[in-house]
Amino acid sequence: MMDWTDRHCRFFHRLLSAHALLYTEMVTTGAILHGPRDRLLAFDPAEHPVALQLGGSEPDDLAASARIGADAGYDEINLNCGCPSERVQKGAFGACLMREPALVADCVTAMRSAVDIPVTVKCRLGVDDDDEEQRLFQFVEQVSAAGCETFIIHARKAWLKGLSPKANRDIPPLNYPLVAKLKRERPDLTIILNGGLASLAASSAAVTDLAVDGAMLGRAAYQNPWDLAEADPTFFEAGPNFDDPHAVIEALLPYIEGELSKGERLHAIARHILGLFQGRPGARAYRRHISENSPREGAGPEVIRDAAARVPKGATRRDAA
């Protein structure tokens, strides 16, 4: 979710669910240690609980970055061992680390020694021609021995050569039963399912059917964020924050006004809310108005109000919108 789940996106998603754990986009250790750290790690207190996802493979650098993240107030440090992009491969981290469980264990040990908050790992089933079960179970065995108790598993392999990151999200076949088997054999671990979950309802069904501990939604939540409004009733036995997307817009406007007063551009925030009315009458006009007007110099909250006015209040979903 690089370039997607920035702080504006997370604030918006927090409005929709008070309890779901939010994750940052992957931030490399090099960027934290040598780049604009304050900007990269900034987040609103309303985002809690929020996890910082790190990209890297050097234990000392990861430990230092984890310490910085914990000091910044993050609730969890997550190590990405699943991203298959060429840029990440060149840095020798992401999905490449599936083949180096001993190194990942060292990284986890270093990070856990540096912070008091949970250190978790996001991974795939394996890479390229790996035997999925052998690779996944060996990886989890070694990394859990280093103290990692939570694994978020994208339930397909990554092909490091020949497939783009987009293709890697769709072409390698899903293997949910293998994730369920891992949970059965390692009931002591928290196993979170990821990959191929197109909706909150599908996530809830998968968690129940597979008897895993939870689900992570990525692009599905971004493209149809209103779906997140059901997260609290479905997973946390709590009422929804809002009954209608228009109320979300009203709750977001003060945040937008505050960010604009600090010099932020409207489009940086508005691009994350394009899918809020997905599937409802007027949704296309809503998206078009934001896309055409939010990038303009001096664009303000009235752009969002005018866009939302194009969707009738009380309108329900329909496939044609």
Active site positions, annotated: 83
Helix, strand or coil, per DSSP, at residue 51: strand
Element spanning 183, H or E: helix 176-185
Using CA atoms, how far residue 25 sits from 3, 5, 15, in Å, is 7, 5, 18
DSSP letter string over 136-192? HHHHHHHHHHTT--EEEEESS-B-SSS--HHHHTTSSPP-HHHHHHHHHH-TTSEEE
The residue to which tokens 């919108």 are assigned: 321
Backbone angles phi, psi at 119, to 5 degrees: -115, 120
- b/e code 12-36 from CB counts within 10 Å (16+ = b): bbbbbbeebbbbbbbbbbebbeeee
